[in-house]
Amino acid sequence: MDPTGDSAISVLKKAGLTTRYIQRDTDRPTGEVLVTLGAEGIPDFTIVRDVAWDNFQSDATWHKIADSASAVCFGSLAQRSEASRRIIRSVLNAARQSVIVFDVNLRQDYFSREIIEDGIKLSHILKLNDKEAANLQDCLDLGCTIDDVPESLLSQYNGLQLVCVTMGSDGSRLVSRTDSCMMACPRVKVRDTVGCGDAFSAALVTKYLEGCDIQAMCRAANVIGAFVASQEGGMPDMPSEIIAEFKSIQ
């Protein structure tokens, strides 16, 4: 019995996403994150240990998909166990033609300097929030001010092409090797920020793959992230006007 896993699969199917590549673990429960919303809808996470997520198994189909994917996104949190970390790295090594996106997730004590550095070295795009930028400043001994963290990372890691720092209601900052952009996000009444970072990343990567400039990427990601923050739940339905606005940004 795995009601949490069954519920997750049901949500994905309802959203029109395939579930054929999802791995089920008969020995461990599906992962759970206990979320407490604080001021202004800002979440505090308690992440349950020793769950299915911590024990990925090698799957040749995952490697085949990665080899043909336009983009592959991974995080630091999913690497808290050695088993899952090993499989994630093998999938990334198979993604030879993909844009690799590293979404830093510094939660509880589930990260190390090695995990962060190795992840950045494998990536083309690095996405983190302002608090995580401050943590990386110390964790990686960058020797710069908090405002210069993106530039410092780009100078030290040759494979990086874009660093994105989200700043909550203040919007976001994108820095590439040739350009930079800081942009406020649309003003919304925040109800629940769970999932808005992932939505932001998805919008950003979509516009990156479309070949948009850095201003368009920033604006489109802010639009989607702000909308999700204005709704309850991490996967709200997107109204047609938000979809149209996103598509119009070039």
Q: What is the pLDDT of residue 168?
A: 86
Domain CATH number, residue 38: 3.40.1190.20
47 located within any domain: yes
15 located within any domain: no
202 located within any domain: no
Q: What is the pLDDT of residue 92?
A: 94
DSSP code string of the chain = --HHHHHHHHHHHHTT---TT----SSSPPP-EEEEE-GGG-EEEEE-SSSGGG-----HHHHHHHHH-SEEEEESGGGSSHHHHHHHHHHHHH-TTSEEEEE----TT---HHHHHHHHHT-SEEEEEHHHHHHHHHHTT--S-GGGHHHHHHHH-TT--EEEEE-GGG-EEEEESS-EEEEPPPP---S--TTHHHHHHHHHHHHHHTT--HHHHHHHHHHHHHHHHTSSSSSPPPPHHHHHHHHH--
Report the predicted TM-score, pTM, of the whole model to 2 decimal places: 0.90
210 located within any domain: no
14 located within any domain: no
- How many domains does the chain fold into? 1
127 located within any domain: yes
35 located within any domain: yes
56 located within any domain: yes
Domain span holding position 115: 21-182
Q: In a structure prediction context, what are the per-residue pLDDT tens digits for the chain, which is 250 residues long?
A: 789 899 999 999 998 999 999 999 999 999 887 777 766 666 677 788 889 988 988 889 999 999 999 999 999 888 888 889 999 999 999 998 999 999 998 776 778 889 999 999 999 999 999 989 988 888 898 989 889 999 999 999 999 999 999 998 889 999 999 999 999 989 999 888 888 899 999 999 999 999 999 999 999 999 999 999 999 988 999 999 999 999 999 9
